[in-house]
Structure 1
Amino acid sequence: MASSVQRFELVIIGGGPGGVATLLAAHKADQLDNLLSMGIAIVESAASLGKGEIGNYAINSDSGGGTFVDCLDSAHPTELTRLQSHELTRNLAAAGHGPVPLREAGRFLGLVGAAIERMAEAYPASAVLTRHKAQSARRCDDGWMVEISDLEAGTTRKIFARQLIVASGAHQPLPRMAREQFDGKSLVERCGARLMQSGEVLTPEGLQRIGDILSKKANPRLAIIGGSTSAAAVAHALLHRLPNVAFGEAGITLLHRRPLRIYYPDREQALAEGYTEWTEDDVCQISGRVFRFAGFRLDSRELVMQARGIGGRPVEARLRLQQIGADERHAAQIMDDADIVIAAMGYRPRGLPFFDEVGVPITLHSQLGPQHPMVDSACRVMDSEGQAIPNVFGIGLAAGFVPRGSLGGEASFRGQANGLWLWQHDVGTLIVNAVLKASRTETDKIEIGLPAVAAAASKREIFHSTPALYG
C-alpha cells in the first residue's frame, strides 16, 4: 500500500530543554499559536517533552530558580500560564537568584513539556511524536524529508519539513579522550581505567562510584581537567556530596588552560571585592555585567572564589587551581599521581546526518573538529564551508552559539553561550522570528504565483499534516 507523507512547516528534532525553549520563546512573544496553526512536529525519543537529561544530574543549577519560571509568562492565559500556581513553580520562584537542585528543574520542565503537548493537541496541523527518533534529513525541492523511527513499533517512515530546528542535545565523545595529548601521551594512554568524564560523574551513580573508590584511600587524590562550569561543578559535587571521602589539602586539583573568570553583576561589586582581573572588553555593554557569559556563577563561582580567597572568603584548601602552561610535565605528573582523573572538556552536538538532493552526505561545520560550532551568529546550522544550510536552525548544549550585538555579552567572550534563560528568550526569539519570516516569504511566493483557490489548496498542503497510511 502506498503511504502519504505528513507535511509540516517546521519539524523540531528533540523535545528536551533546547527544543522546548524555542516554543517557550514563541509563547512569551504571543506567537506560539501562530507556529502551531502553521503546523509543527516535535520529534522526541523519550516518552515525554521538556525534561531531557537535566533531571539526571545530582547537582544544583547554575541559574537562579526564578529564571526557570518566567518562561511561563504570556499576554493571554494558556496551559503554560496555569502552571504559575503549581507548587513546584512557586518553590522555584521562591529561590529567586539562588540555585535549585537540577532534579527539581527537571520535574518543572516535565510539567512544561506536558503543557506544550496539550496545547499542540488542539491544532490538527501539529503533532508531538514522542518515542520517535530522527535518523536523517534529505534535501528536497521545497524543504527536507526527515526519516524517523518509531521506537516502540520498530518501524520507520518519512515526514516533510519545510524548516528544521536541530535540538538533539550533546554528548562527550570518547574518541576525543584518545586525541587529547598531555606531555606526549593521550589521556586514555596516560590514565587508563582511572579516567572518567564529567557527565558520568555528575549523576548519582557516578558519584557513588567515586565514593566507593576513594573512601578506601587514606589520602585520596583526584584531578579534574578543564576550566568550564562542568569542571567546577564536578569539584563542588565531590567536596560536598561525598561525606565518606576525606580530601586533604590539595586533594582535588583542577587543571585548566585558560584563566578562570568570575561573574559579577557590575563593575562596582567586582572592585569592592578586590577583583580586578578584567578590562572593559570583559564587561557586557548592555547589562554592565562583568564576564556575563565567561564567568562562573552560583555554586561554581563561590567555590572558585573560596579556592582563591577572593573577597575575604575562607580559603578552600582542599581544592588547588593549577593553570597548565607550555610545559605540561607538572600537569602530567598530577594526573599520574591521581587515583581518579575526570575529563571536563566540554560537549559536542549529537547533530543529525544530512544529505543533499541526490543522497550525498552534507558534512556539518561541527564535524570538522572540537572547536568548530554547529551554528552561526543567526543560529543557522552550517556546512563544512561555514555556509548556512537553508532553513535549518540549531539550538541547545554545544550548538556553539555566540551572542553578539543586541543580545549583549562581553567582547572578549570566545566560548559558547549555554543556559535555559538564554535559549528561552534571546536565542529562541531569534529562531522564532526567522522561522516566521521564512514562512511568510513562502506564503507570499505561493499567492503571487497561483490563483486564489490553488494558493489556498497549496498552503494547506504545506502547512497542515495529512492523514498518513502505512503498510
Structure 2
Amino acid sequence: MSPHTSTPVLIAGGGPAGIAVLLAASRIGELPRLLDEGLTLVEQGEHIGSGMLGRYVINSDSAAETFVDTITDNPVPELACLIHHPLVTMIRNHGRQALPLRIVAEFLDLVGEVLTGLIRAHPASRLLTGWQLRSLHQDTDREWGCHLVSCDGQRTQHIHACKVVLAMGAYQPEQRLHDEQVAGRPLLPRHAGRIMQSDTLLSPDGIDRLRAMTAGHEKPRIAIIGGASSALSVARVIMRDMADCLAPGHLTLLHKSRLKLFYRTAEEAVADGYREFSDTDICPVSQFVYRFGGLRYESRDLAMQLMGVANAPPEPLVRDVQITGDNDAQVNDILDNADAIIACFGYRPRRVAMMDMHDHPISLAADTTDGCLTGAECAVMNEDGHPIAGLFGIGLASGFRPSGAMGGESSFRGQVNSLWLWQTAIGEKILHHLLPQDAPVLVPVTRLRAPVLEPARGHLHP
C-alpha cells in the first residue's frame, strides 16, 4: 500500500458506532453511493462489528427485537438476507426481552462480516484492520492529514481525508477519581486500593477482582457510587455473582440525583404509584416518561424495589442512600468503612492528537470536565464550542443530545448512548455531511417517521 494516499471519508473505529454510519446509509439506500464515492474504515482489531461490547457481562436495556431493525427490510440484499440467519431468528424470538450484550456482539460481528465484503467489493473504498488513527493535522484547505500506526507498532502510513468521523469508543479515566467530589471529597487518594471503576467490574474478570479486593472480609461492605443504569447493573452483577458473601444492607448505592424510572405513559406511572415526574420529564413525541433519562429493564426492576414502587418487594441486600449535601458525614462514613468502592462516573470519549493548519494543538470541548465531543449536528466541537470543519463524532460518550423531531424529555441533561439512534437518525445526520451535496441524501418518508413511531429503541449502557 502506498505510504501516502487519499480518501473522501475516513472513519476511525469499526465497532458498533463506526459501522452504524454504514448501516444508516444502507437503511436509506445510500450505502452503494457512500462506498462508490470512497471511504476508508480504520479498525485496530482483526475485524469490524462489535468492538468491545462483547466483554460486558450484563444485558441490554432495550428489547432484543430492536437490534435487528437495522437489517429488517434493508435495501442492501446482503444485509436483508441475514434476517434468516439462526442467530437473528433467536434474537427475534426474544421479542421485547432484554438480551445479553455478548449476543448483541455476536450479531454485530455477523453484520460486520457482511459489511467487510461490501467494502472490499468497492474499489474506491478500503478496510484497514490492525491499524490505529494516532493523530490528525488540518491542512490549508481545512481537510485532514491522518497519521496511522499499525497495532504492532512496526508500520505507519499517512492518509489525506476530506472528512473524518471519530468512532473510537470511550474509557473511564482514573483522573476523574481525583477530581470528582463525593460528599465534599475526591475518592483518590483517600480510598486508594479499595476502588474499582464500573467498566472493570462489568468485564469478565470483574467479580474475581472484586473478590480479591475484599479477601479477608467474610461479609464485605461494598459501596456503589452512581444512580444511572451502569450503577444499577453493577449492583445486580454483585448480587448475582457474590450472593454467597453478601449480608443484608452491606451493598450500598450512593447517588446524587434521585432514581428515575422509564414508563410508556404517565398514566401507567401513576397507576404504579410513581409520581416523581413533571411535564418536563415527558417526551412530547412519544409521551414516554423519562424517555432518555429513565432506568429500564433489570436496572429499573431493582430501582422499583429500592423505591417501593408498584408494591415491588424490598431488596434486603441493598441500601439506598441519596447524597443530598446535608448528609456528607453519613456518606463519608459509608465510604471510609467500605471494603470496596465501585465508581460509576460514566465514560469520556477517546480522542487523538490534533493540530491546526498553523501547527497549533487543537483543544476540544471534550477536554474540559463533562464537556461534549460533538454538537447538535454531530460535528466535533473546539474548546469554544464551535464545530470543527470536516470532523465528526459518534458513539459512546460522544455527547449527542437529541432535540426537535427526535424528542426526549426537556429536563434531560445527559447524553444518549443508543445503538438504534446511531444506526438511524444520528447516522443520517452525519451522512448529510459526508455525501456530496449535489445529490440529496435519500431518506424515505417511512424512515423519517420511524423514530416517531418507535422512539425508544436500541439503548446500550455498559
TM-score, normalization by structure 2:
0.91
Give me the whole-angstrom Cα distance separating, in 2, the residues matched to 1:367 and 1:153.
26
Deviation (angstroms), 1:21? 0.9
Cα deviations by residue, 1:407-451 (Å, 9 ceiling, x for unpaired): 11011100011121121112111111232255769xxxxxxxxxx
Identity %: 38
Cα 1:265–1:84, aligned 2, differ >3 Å: closer, same or farther?
A: same
Cα 1:415–1:184, aligned 2, differ >3 Å: closer, same or farther?
A: closer
* Pair 1:401 & 2:400 matched: yes
Cα 1:439–1:354, aligned 2, differ >3 Å: closer, same or farther?
A: farther
Give the equivalent residue in structure 2 for 1:186. Answer: 186
Q: Is the 8 A contact 2:226 2:344 kept in 1?
A: yes
Give me the whole-angstrom Cα distance separating, in 1, the residues matched to 2:230 and 2:334.
20
Deviation (angstroms), 1:141? 3.3
- The aligned amino acid for 1:159 is I
Q: Which has the larger radius of gyration?
A: 1
More helix by share: 1
Give the equivalent residue in structure 2 for 1:220. Answer: 220
Q: Is the 8 A contact 1:30 1:74 kept in 2?
A: no
- The aligned amino acid for 1:377 is A
Cα deviations by residue, 1:188-217 (Å, 9 ceiling, x for unpaired): 122110100000000120112223555753
Give the equivalent residue in structure 2 for 1:416. Answer: 415
* Pair 1:86 & 2:85 matched: yes
Give the alignment's Cα RMSD to 1 decimal: 1.8
Size of the alignment, in residue pairs?
438
Deviation (angstroms), 1:276? 0.8
- The aligned amino acid for 2:418 is G
Q: Is the 8 A contact 2:3 2:158 kept in 1?
A: no
Q: Is the 8 A contact 1:374 1:382 kept in 2?
A: yes
Give the equivalent residue in structure 1 for 2:456. Answer: none
Matched position secondary structure for 1:294: coil
Give the equivalent residue in structure 1 for 2:172. Answer: 172
Deviation (angstroms), 1:86? 1.2
Give the equivalent residue in structure 1 for 2:362. Answer: 362
Give me the whole-angstrom Cα distance separating, in 2, the residues matched to 1:205 and 1:347.
20
Q: Is the 8 A contact 2:147 2:157 kept in 1?
A: yes
Q: Which runs of 5+ in 1 are unaligned?
A: 442-471
* Pair 1:108 & 2:103 matched: no
Cα 1:3–1:427, aligned 2, differ >3 Å: closer, same or farther?
A: closer
Cα deviations by residue, 1:271-297 (Å, 9 ceiling, x for unpaired): 110111111111111111110000001
Give me the whole-angstrom Cα distance separating, in 1, the residues matched to 2:349 and 2:438.
27
* Pair 1:266 & 2:265 matched: yes
* Pair 1:236 & 2:236 matched: yes
Q: Is the 8 A contact 1:166 1:352 kept in 2?
A: no
Give me the whole-angstrom Cα distance separating, in 1, the residues matched to 2:356 and 2:255.
41
Matched position secondary structure for 1:302: helix
Q: Which runs of 5+ in 2 are unaligned?
A: 441-462
Cα 1:318–1:109, aligned 2, differ >3 Å: closer, same or farther?
A: same
Cα 1:33–1:412, aligned 2, differ >3 Å: closer, same or farther?
A: same
Cα deviations by residue, 1:326-376 (Å, 9 ceiling, x for unpaired): 13221111111111001000110012221111321110110022x110111
Give me the whole-angstrom Cα distance separating, in 2, the residues matched to 1:55 and 1:27.
24
Give the equivalent residue in structure 2 for 1:156. Answer: 156
Cα 1:186–1:131, aligned 2, differ >3 Å: closer, same or farther?
A: same
Deviation (angstroms), 1:152? 4.1
Cα 1:220–1:152, aligned 2, differ >3 Å: closer, same or farther?
A: closer
Deviation (angstroms), 1:76? 2.9
